[in-house]
Every structure is written in C-alpha cells, then in structure tokens.
Amino acid sequence: MSLRTVEMALATPGADREGRPIRVPLGVAEPAGGHYDEDFGAEHMLVNIGPQHPATHGVLRLVVELEGETVKRVIPHVGYLHTGFEKLGEYRFYNQIIPLTDRTDYLAPMANNVGLALAVEKLMGIEVTERCRVLRVIACELSRIISHLVWLGTTGIDLGAFTPFLWSFQERERVYNLQEAWTGARLTPSVTRVGGMMADIPEGWEAGLREFIQTFPKTLREVDTMFTRNSIWIGRTQGVGVLTREEAINYSLSGPMLRASGVDYDVRKDRPYLGYDEYDFDVPVGEHGDIYDRYRIRLEEMTQSTRILEQALAKLRPGPINVDDPRVILPPKHRAMSDMEAMIYHFKQVMEGVKPPAGEAYFGIENPKGELGYYFVSDGTAKPVRWRIRPPAFINLSSLPKMCEGALLSDVIAINASVDIVMGEVDR
Amino acid sequence: MTAPVSPSVAPLRAEFGAAVERHLISCGDTIIYVSRERSHDALAWLKDTPGQEFDYLTDVTAVDYRDPERPLEVVYQLRSLARRADLRVKVALDKRRPLEVRSVWDLWKGADWLEREVYDMFGVTFAGHPDLRRILMWDTYAEGFPLRKDFPLRGHFSRAEQTRQALAANPEAHYSLEELSIADAFAELPKDMQERLARGERGFLR
C-alpha cells in the first residue's frame, strides 16, 4: 500500500512516526514446528449473511465461501424487494410514474423525480422555465446531501463508530423538514411534474435553506475530524475493496464508485442538464479506488453540494414554475372553470394523460448513488411501451464479488457498505 | 430540429456491410440496428477500434412492443468515456425463433447482472454468459417472463396459487447449485431438487 496523502500526523495510537497506520497482521501464528496440521483450514466454509441483517443495508443476501477467514467467493442474491416498477410503469400515465420513482431510491426521492421529468421532457422536446430549473437543482443537491448522510452514518455504524450516525441523521432530519415544508411529504415527495413542478417553495423556505447551508458545514467538519485521520477508520478502509481504473470502467460503475477509482466522469459536468454548467463547483476524484477514497469523495461532494445550493439560492428569481404548454400542464383552476378551451385541455389531460410522440429517449442524471438513467419508449399513446430504470446501485453492487476476492470476512461488511446500495433501487 | 447522425455509423457500415441493418435518430440519439449474428463482433469492434473506443457499457435492456408481430429488441447503451460520446445499438430478435444473442460478458464485466436481468424479465438467453440465472425473481419462478407484453400485470397464476407456492417454498432451494457444490451438500438436498439437478435444469455441479 502506497503512502497516503493524509495531511496531518496521526496522533492516535496504531500509527507509526511517518503517519502510516500500523497494521496488525491477522491470521494464525506459525506453530513452533514450522508447519500446520494438514487438515487445518482445508475445508471451505459457507456463511450466509442476510437477507435480514443490519449490515446488508436492506434485504440483500450474501453467500460467502470462506477459507479460514479469507473470502474465496461472494455470491450475492438480490430481488427480495422486487416490486416490478418497470412493469407497473407500462400501465400508468407519465405523471403517474413519478410516485413510483419515489420508491426506487427512497433515500434520494426528489432527484429521482427530477430524472423522470427530464426524461419525459426530452421525449417531448420541452424546455422548462428558469425558476423550475433552479428549483430542480436545489431538489437534486438536497437529495445528494441526505443520501450521502445516510451512507455516512450507516457505514460508520458498520465499522463501529456510532456517534457520526447521530450527527448525520440529525442533519438529515433538517433536510426532511425542508422537504416536508415544500412538498407536504417527507419520504415520498413526488415533487416534479412533466414540464414543471408540483408546487413552488412556500414563503420563508429560502431562509430555512439558507440557515441549513450555513450551519451544515460545521457537522461536516466534525465528521472530518472524527474519521479522516482516525487510525481505526483508516485501517479498516485504506487498501480494502480496491478497484482499478480499468476495472471500474469495465464493471460499468458510476458516481462516487467510479470517481474513487480515478475516472473523472460526472454527468453534471460532462453532459450538463438543468444548467449545471453555469454553477461553479468541483468534482472530487480519487486515486486508489478503495473504501477510504469513496468516503473522501462522498464527504467532499456534500461540501460541493452546499456550494451549489448557495449559488442556486442566488439564482432563484420570481417567475413561473411550469411551462406554458397545455399539452402537459393543467390550466389554472379558475380558467378551467370559466374558459371553454381551458376546460377541454383540463379534461383531456386528466382523462387521457400526457402524450409524447412516438420515439424513444434515454436521459441520465447524476444521482447520489451514480448515474440514474431513465429510458422511455413511446408509441404515441399516454402510457409508455417501456420504462427502463438504469439503476446505479444495482450495477455498482454487481462488482461486489470482484472487490471481496481475497478480503477478510469483516472486510465484506465494509466493502458492501462502501457501495452505497439502496435495495429499493437494486430490486426495483 | 434535426440532430446529427453519430459519426460512428459510417465506419461501422463500412466494416460490417449488410450486418448493419439500419440506423435512425430519435430525440437526438443515434440508434443502430445490427444483425443478431454479428452483434458481438460489432460491439467488440466499437469497443476496441481507435476512434470509436466505446469502453463503457451504460446499460443493457430489452424492449417488447405492444404489436405482437414486432420483434423484441435487445438494447445496448454504449459510451466512450474518452470522447464523451454515446451510442445506442439494438439487436432485433424475431419472436418466432429462439430468443438468443451472444453475451458481451467477455467485453464488459458490467454486463453480467444486466444480461441476467434481461434473461429474467424477457427470457432472452445470452450465449456465452457464465452464470445465466434469474436474478430478481427466484430460481424456481415458473410464471414466465414478467416484462413480456403477453404477461398479465398480476402474473399468470391466480392469487391462491401464488400464495400456495410461496408458503410451500423450500428454504433449501434458496441456495444456488454452485453454492451447494461448495459445501458438498448434494446428498442433503431435498429430493425434488436433486431431480431437477439430475435433469440439468440449471447450473452445473463440480
């Protein structure tokens, strides 16, 4: 393992003078005779972890083949939470699919809503209003923060650190309060609509967000103090679950997993949507591809998200949140009640739904877990022929057997935590 | 608004001729149809040829259209990370013939679970895939392939039958054959599973 770029000397016990963590060699001490009993450790052991296990972050089941304490093979079993969202979507209007997206990656529901609206808008060739774009950026970045906070807290618990879990969940609660004030729902906000938003932010909401942005970095600094130079944390994470740059690309990883391996690809930068190219923010990229780099990247992404939120608040100008397009947006109630044409539009939209032209579109956005893609195939009717979710957590998880090869059993828990899975999305 | 055709289309046609069936543009994205026989060659060519370098497999999925006559399509979303370019490659599979296409697992390891999912949901077999099992549905699922258009929303079996099967499920059967072979547990398997294994229904025993 190469020397890491941890800036400060490690003050905690378990580190040598140069700041490198001292690794306690694991394994059985060599017997006095110099050789082991022939039978010792020859038999492989099969260990079943999950589906009901707190460290699998949901209903994931791992069957682990062990030789002593070394992992020979990990065989993941998924599908315990399979709901058939993609099939359900084929029986629904486009706007009715938005509540389904809440329930896939339920740790970042608002970002999923945004992705879905953008995909349908690409299919229909709709450009949303400026205020809507800024509101959607706010929704995406708040989702990134709460998703990474859950990751941070639960991963800390998996590795034996309880306190950061309480800090991160406290902060997450504040975002949930904002989410509730905006949408009326905490977990399933369904905040977007095709061509706009479900609701504008209420009065005083901006002040609440501003207060959050100002106080949240303090918690991040505390987490940084707790983890970044902590020798236990470093010993458990550095050099564990390593994927090289080539492997990360070959396994189709995305998001922080891909960037931790040194691939500089972020959809927000490389395929800007919602005007992300107008925001000033940095994309952290790792170099070792291990759990520690994934941690550093997620921590830094939260800081960058607060930067983006700050700029978004500055950009937020009064204006309409919905496009002026009767094909997708309901007319205001008072017009639907008094104007014949508006009433017809209202009736057609409620009864027949939004009808994109025949064609197909794939739209990927940078979700907290990775690239979330929605692929729609339309035949001109109000219900999609095919709605495909490109699930970042599912694809990232498929590299788990590779990362666990030759690791220790306790590393499996750490590696699995570092993938940042959410089973609602893995199983869909 | 007409979007430009992907610059990969012309060289691909020059290389593969009639195996590139057609191409079209939808919402600004170029879609290339390649024949089932040459799909693996074309994808390998797109991955490895300098100037193309589609080194990243974004997604593999399939589309079954509402028109039952229309072929089922396997869809590959490719990306070149270096060139920041995307390409969608499709393989149309005639439903009157066995739904089979060559696996791209040897090119992209990320195709492992994605192809398993397409197999699970659409019944497309990927020749050369090392471990083609169901992934989201369980191994003994007998109702067919859920994302096909001829599959009803609530499944083929009645609610009562689905409940009966769920309650009668054998917990032993929740291990794959490969896992059982690790533990050398063949003799301890339930009888019905031993029989299925003897018929060679899935997996292999070392």
pLDDT tens, position by position, A217-252? 999 999 988 888 888 888 888 888 899 999 999 999
According to DSSP, the residues that pair with A370 across neighbouring strands are A367
Alpha-carbon distance B56 to A267, whole Å? 14
Q: Does the residue A23 lie in any domain?
A: no
Query: Comparing A199-203, B84-88, B187-191, which segment has the lowest mean pLDDT?
Result: B187-191
Nearest to A398 among B26, B113, B176 (CB): B113
Q: Are A302 and A145 in contact (CB under 8 A)?
A: yes
Residue A50 shares a structural domain with residue A122: no
3-state secondary structure of A204: coil
Mean pLDDT of B157-164: 87
Residue A234 lies in a domain: yes
Cα separation, A397 vs A426, in Å, equals 8
Q: Examine the pLDDT at A119 and tell me if it is beyond 90.
A: yes
Mutate to test the interface with B, among A80, A265, A386 (most CBs of B within 10 A): A386
Q: Kindly tell me if the per-residue pLDDT of B124 is higher than 50.
A: yes
Does the structure show a pLDDT above 50 at A374? yes
Binned at pLDDT 50, 70 and 90, residue B74 comes out as very high
Is B84's CB within 8 Å of A270's CB? yes
Q: Comparing B71 with B133, which gets the higher pLDDT?
A: B71
- Residue B61 distance to chain A (closest CA, Å): 8
Full 3-state SS string of A100-154: HHHCCCCCCHHHHHHHHHHHHHHHHCCCCCHHHHHHHHHHHHHHHHHHHHHHHHH
Query: Is residue A383 a part of any domain in this protein?
Result: yes
Distance CA A82, CA A312 (A): 36
Query: Is the Cβ of B72 closer than 8 Å to some Cβ of chain A?
Result: no
Whether the pLDDT of residue A14 is over 70: the answer is no
Chain A to chain B, count of Cβ pairs less than 8 Å apart? 119
| A47 touching chain B per CB within 8 A | no
Asked whether residue A256 falls in the same domain as residue A309, the answer is yes
DSSP-derived secondary structure for A349-363: HHHH---PPSEEEEE
Give the pLDDT of residue B93. Answer: 92
CB contacts, 8 Å: A277 with chain B:
none
Say whether residue A360 is in contact with chain B using an 8 A CB cutoff.
yes
B83, closest residue in chain A (CA to CA)? A270
Pair A203, A307 in one domain: yes
The whole-chain average pLDDT of chain A stands at 86
| Whether the Cβ atoms of residue A250 and residue B108 lie closer than 8 Å to each other | yes
The DSSP output letter for A26 is P
Q: If pLDDT is split at 50, 70 and 90, which confidence band does B180 have?
A: low
Tokens of A54: 């707190």
Chain B contact for A394, CB < 8 A?
yes
A44–B182 CB contact, under 8 Å: yes
* pLDDT over 70 percentage in chain B: 83
Nearest to A385 among B65, B75, B108 (CB): B65
Predicted local distance difference test score (pLDDT) of residue A35: 55
Identify which of B61, B111, B176 has the shortest CB distance to residue A388.
Answer: B61
Neighboring chain A residues of B88 at a CB cutoff of 8 Å: 362
| DSSP, residue by residue, A246-294 | HHHHHTT--THHHHHTT----HHHHS--TTGGGS-------SS-SHHHH
Q: Give yes or no: residues A160 and A70 share one domain.
A: no
* B11-28 confidence digits (pLDDT tens): 888 888 888 888 898 888
Task: Judge if A106 and A149 occupy the same domain.
Answer: yes
The C-alpha of B65 sits at a distance from chain A's nearest C-alpha, in angstroms, of 6
Is residue A179 located within the same domain as residue A157?
yes
In one letter, which amino acid is B26? S
3-state helix, strand, coil in chain A (%, to 5): 45, 10, 40
If phi > 0 it is left, if psi is from -120 to 50 it is alpha, else beta; for residue B6 that is beta
Selected residue of A49, A252, A268, A383 to mutate for chain B interface (largest B Cβ count, 10 A):
A252
CATH placement of domain B9-143 = 3.30.460.80
Q: For the residues B84-98, what does the mean pLDDT come to?
A: 91
Cα distances (angstroms) measured from residue B107 to each of B46, B62, B102, B110, B112: 11, 19, 11, 9, 10
Tokens at A350, concatenated: 């409620």
What CATH code is carried by the domain that includes residue A257? 1.10.645.10
Q: Identify the domain containing residue A282 by its residue range.
A: 87-324+361-427
Query: Within the 154-183 window of chain B, which residues sit less than 8 Å (CB to CB) from chain A?
Result: 174-176, 178-179, 182-183
User: Which is more confident, B117 or B170?
Assistant: B117
Q: CB contact, 8 Å: A373 with chain B?
A: yes
Alpha helices in chain B (DSSP H): 9-16, 39-48, 111-122, 159-167, 177-183, 191-198
Asked if residue A114 and residue A259 are part of one domain, the reply reads: yes
Q: Where are the domains positioned within chain B? A: 9-143
The pLDDT of B24-47, averaged and rounded, is: 91
pLDDT band at residue A114, thresholds of 50, 70 and 90? very high
Query: Could you report the per-residue pLDDT of A152-203, keeping only the tens digit for each?
Result: 999 999 988 889 899 999 999 999 999 999 999 999 999 999 989 999 999 9
Do A156 and A109 fall into the same domain?
A: yes
Question: What does the pLDDT average to over A297-323?
Answer: 92
Residue A266 falls inside a structural domain:
yes
Residue A12 pLDDT grade (very low, low, confident, very high; cuts 50, 70, 90) = very low
Same domain, A157 and A233: yes
CB A71 within 8 A of CB A409: yes
Are A50 and A129 members of one domain?
no
Interface of A with B in 250-279 (CB under 8 A): 250-253, 263, 265, 270-271
pLDDT, position A30: 47
Asked casually if ipTM beats, i.e. exceeds, 0.90, the reply is no
Whether A129 is covered by a domain: the verdict is: yes
Residue A53 has a pLDDT of 83
Beta strands in A289-385 (DSSP E): 359-367, 370-378
Q: Does any CB of chain A come closer than 8 Å to the CB of residue B146?
A: yes
Residues ≥6 apart with Cβ < 8 Å to A1: A238, A239
In this prediction, residue A17 carries a pLDDT of: 60
Shortest Cα distance, chain B CAs vs residue A45, angstroms: 7
Establish if B24 touches chain A: CB-CB under 8 angstroms: no
Report the pLDDT averaged over residues B70-90. 91
Chain A residues with CB inside 8 Å of B65's CB? 377, 379, 385
Euclidean distance between CA atoms A86 and A68, whole angstroms: 42
> What percent of chain B has a predicted confidence (pLDDT) above 90?
40
Which of A65, A390, A397 is closest, CB to CB, to B58? A390
Number of structural domains in chain A: 2
CB contact under 8 A, A75 and B179: yes
Q: Reply yes or no on whether the pLDDT at A365 is more than 50.
A: yes
Residue B140 confidence (pLDDT) above 90: no
Greater confidence, A58 or A139? A139
Choose among A75, A91, A375: nearest Cβ to B178. A75
Q: Is B182's CB within 8 Å of A79's CB?
A: no
User: Between chains, do A84 and B146 touch, taking CB under 8 Å as contact?
Assistant: yes
Mean pLDDT of A25-43: 49
Residue A28 CA: distances (Å) to CA of A40, A41, A201, A352: 11, 11, 61, 70
Chain A residues touching residue B61 (CB < 8 angstroms): 375, 386, 388, 390
Q: Is A75's Cβ below 8 Å from some Cβ in B?
A: yes
Taking CB atoms and an 8 Å limit, are B59 and A373 in contact across chains?
yes
Taking CA–CA distances from A253, the nearest residue in chain B reads B110
Identify whether residues A188 and A51 lie together within a single domain.
no
Q: A59 and A174, same structural domain? A: no
Residue from A64, A398, A421, A426 to probe the interface with B (highest B Cβ count within 10 Å): A398
Confidence at residue A24, expressed as pLDDT on a 0 to 100 scale = 41
